[in-house]
A and B are shown apart, each in its own frame.
Chain A
Amino acid sequence: MNAETVERAPRRYGMVIDLDRCSGCGACMVACSAENNVPPAHPQATERTGITLLRVVQVKDAASRGVAFIPMMCQQCGDDTPCMTVCPQQAVEVDKLTGVVEQMPQRCLGCRYCMTACPFQARFFNWWDPEWPAGMETTLNPGAAPRMRGVVEKCDFCQSRMHAAEDKAAMEGSREFEYTPACVEACPTRAIVFGDLNDPESDVSRQARNSFRFLERLGTGPKVYYRSRRPWLRTLASRVGAPPKKENGNG
């Protein structure tokens, strides 16, 4: 580093989602789709074939009759990122400067290995060409190119917003910038906190200390953390996808 160049400290963007504040209103899902130019559902699309880069899932606990809404998006795995490992096209990369798992649809061949590898089912395949009703294409976000049929996409923490914030800061002669993903901005209960996990003073770092992650046992180092005072949700987070326990050897 010399006097003319300033290295930017690498960030590690992450989220903390307070499940006790999520009301399941779905505002984040719609705001996310508008931000990322995800088209309205194809007439044949279902919950299995549709594209929801962020999906709010309703879960129930029979014992306590409790209900919770869990916003699920790409968990931005930081260690041995499964989707990146299996991609034959190098279409998935972890950005060293932000820690964000980036998907490059231009490189994607549509093999869907990454979808199989993703333990969170947070990747979506474009089964159809993106279509908007006539005239609605004028409402597309200039920061996000629509993806074509045959490629996989996923949440990237609204990289288009990050680039816009970065550009704006650069125009002002600064390298410091902050941005807010669309879902964080949309949440009416402020259930989602976003920021740099490398900054120990940030809200996201502070809240992440007393939180849990889904499928932590897989060791993929997700950067999306969850909080709840309800013990059954912590249990659920650790047990999702786990093989059923044998009960007292009775079979």
Chain B
Amino acid sequence: MTGTRRNLLAFGGGAAAAVAFTPIPWKLLDDVSIWTQNWSWIPPVPRGEITVKHSACTMCGAGCGVQAHCVGGQPFGLAPVAGHPLSHGGLCALAYGAHQMPYHARRLRKGLSRGAEVAPDVALAHAVEILRDARDARRVVAVLDERPGRMVSAMYARLLGGLPGSVYLTPPAPERATAGILSGWAGRPAGFDFEKARTILSIGTPLLDGFGAAGALLALWANREDRVRFLHAEPRQSHTAALADRWIAIRPGSEAAFALGLAGVLVRDGLAKAPAPYGAFSLEEAARRTGLRPDTILAVAHELAGRGPALVIGGGDPVSGPLPRDAEQSIAALNVLLGSEAVCPRHPLPFERPATPLLDVPDGTISVLIADAASNGCALPEAVLRRKLANNAQIIRLSAFQTTAARRADVVVPVAAPSEALEEVTAPACNARAAWGLAPPLVERPEGVYTVPEVVARLAEGCQMPAPGSIDEASEAIQALGRGSTFEFGDASIWTDSEDSGQLEFAALPEIRLEEPSLADGFPLTLMPAGWRGAAAAIPLPPLTTKLYQESELRPGAREARVHPATARDLGLARQSRATAETPYGSAAVSLRFDESVPPGVVEVAAHEDDAARVFALCGDTCWRSAPARLRRS
């Protein structure tokens, strides 16, 4: 071939055309793809030795055991602990994101003083000053502890011991409700042995969706076969209603009537194992109030009596709050009437201190409130809390996160986030056997951030009070008992008490009178806040739970309202339209979704993180379970 210009061009053109048939363009495309995936803003994954640490989840009070897979000492994933006496090898969705909580966007590393950022020691000094002034002026100081029963709770109680007229409070929690009433009637702590029960009826309480330790009850449910039957009474078809063997769709607010109806049947049919003044409450009356057929109530009562040991569980919802007192008493009374062996006496922990229920405190009486950082995963509307405070009352919050409640406090002392400090875990209050363990930290806490025992000690020191002790005392107290068993997993352990062999004897059951539900003119619907454990709690949700409520429809997200299609049709509202929910206490814009599991006449509004305050405001300041409502098109 001669080197002519024509040949050169032909060679160049041929070579260019042939390149498309070689791996070169594909290789280039590959390389460009790989290169563009290594931009500096795509975070590199950490490298280092893979190890396993053991601890416990402290996102709520269930005390589930976790094993953390770590790289270079930093946890990158959590897994359950097989055989753990509280969690039974299971964890809930919150726990799987717990290791990311120290890096939450709302993480508080500084203190807050009336909303302004201050150094942690300045915030603590401010808190000491408030407490000292309150002591000198003999004003009522209260501590609000969402997880009573820990050694740190005893430390709070000792701190309050030096402040005359002070009160140690606990907010409502589903696990404490029925067991708490039964404990009061028996004069000693009572709990439930779910393993012994053959029939479990939950009334208005999501027993299979965030009650106690998720693993324990879900394992019981999943392996029930014909051994245990789960019955659930609730107006809406919640997760628990969907999973129960039988869902009893009662009217909103008729939990007490349903329980009294069952009690009436037990008494009249001679099935009750204790005397009770409920025989006069007729089946017809219960049917009228609950919207059920009389034979449904009759069948449930006979199933409870005939398929024992039976348990009846109340307590309400972690988001929409406790049931009314008459309902809780009726539910507790059912357990006494059934004489269930699954209701057991419970040894208290040696350092357990009795706490006053927050809702029992007279309104306007607390001058200084110290709110502990621990969360039980349940909602406590700010308005309900404020109602208990005196004019010009001051709030000191211990918090690891900048939540709505923290922003409204007078002082916020920054404390360790979950998995940053040594924390105590206890068994849920409904468990028949007490348990106590320590959750070792998984990561180092930031400089300047306190632990809760440190804050309590500094508050006592600042007020020239005796030192309130330390959590080390708890292990000594438990060792001194000389009973129970310890489950060891890796570098962590949990002690479980032995069974209390005593018998529970209950005082005479009280008479329970039901009032006719009041109807508000112009509000034909019932608004019910809805959500799931942790959605409206004192600490924010782990960031990865957005998968459940924002990137899927598994859980309700903010500003979402669900109505039955028939309700929407009657009101002329379209699917996914905007509407305004109005109650006698206020109004809020919502996005409508149709859901046949919501009963007609009910508007289920999601109470979610910061938006929860707006939803609870629609329910007033005494109860946040429901409110008369109406919907109008926006």
* Chain A residues close to B by CB (< 8 Å): 21, 23-27, 29-31, 33-35, 37-38, 40-41, 45-47, 50-52, 55-58, 60, 62, 65, 67-69, 89, 105-109, 129-130, 132-148, 150-151, 164, 182, 185-186, 188-191
Contact = CB atoms under 8 A, between A and B. Distances in A.
Given A29-B554, A30-B97, A41-B550, A135 B103 contact: yes
Interface in B18-52: 29-30, 33-34, 36-37, 39, 41-48, 50
A107 B551 contact: no
B548 A29 contact: yes
A17 to B, nearest CB: 13
Contact of A130 (B42, B543, B596): B42
Interface string B484-512: 00000000000000000000000000000
A62 B596 contact: yes
Contacts of B46: 137-138, 140, 142
A79 B91 CA distance: 36
B76 A142 contact: yes
A149 to B, nearest CB: 9
Nearest to A188: B90
A129 B41 contact: yes
B37 A47 contact: no
B76 A140 contact: yes
A46 B92 contact: no
Contact of A189 (B99, B218, B547, B555): B218
Nearest to B38: A148
Interface string B61-100: 0000000000100111111100000000111111111011
B243 interface: yes
Given A27-B91, A137-B43, A141-B77, 13 more contacts: A26-B554, A31-B96, A34-B97, A38-B547, A46-B551, A52-B551, A60-B596, A67-B237, A67-B242, A133-B107, A134-B103, A138-B74, A146-B45
Which size class do B's interface residues fall under?
35 or more
B548 A142 contact: no
B282 interface: no
A34 B93 contact: no
A27 B93 contact: yes
A137 B543 CA distance: 13
27 contacts: A23-B218, A24-B242, A25-B209, A26-B545, A30-B93, A30-B542, A41-B550, A47-B550, A50-B551, A50-B552, A52-B551, A55-B552, A68-B242, A106-B33, A106-B34, A107-B30, A130-B43, A132-B103, A134-B103, A137-B43, A140-B76, A145-B45, A147-B37, A148-B39, A188-B80, A189-B221, A191-B222
B102 interface: yes
| Nearest 8 interchain pairs by C-beta | A50-B551, A188-B90, A41-B546, A67-B242, A189-B222, A40-B543, A137-B43, A136-B103
B222 A29 contact: no
B219 interface: yes
B45 A142 contact: yes
B96 A34 contact: yes
**Which of A38, A143, A147 has the most CB atoms of chain B within a 10 A radius of its CB?**
A143
Given A105-B37, A106-B30, A188 B219 contact: yes
B559 interface: no
Contact of A67 (B30, B34, B551, B597): B597
A50 B77 CA distance: 21
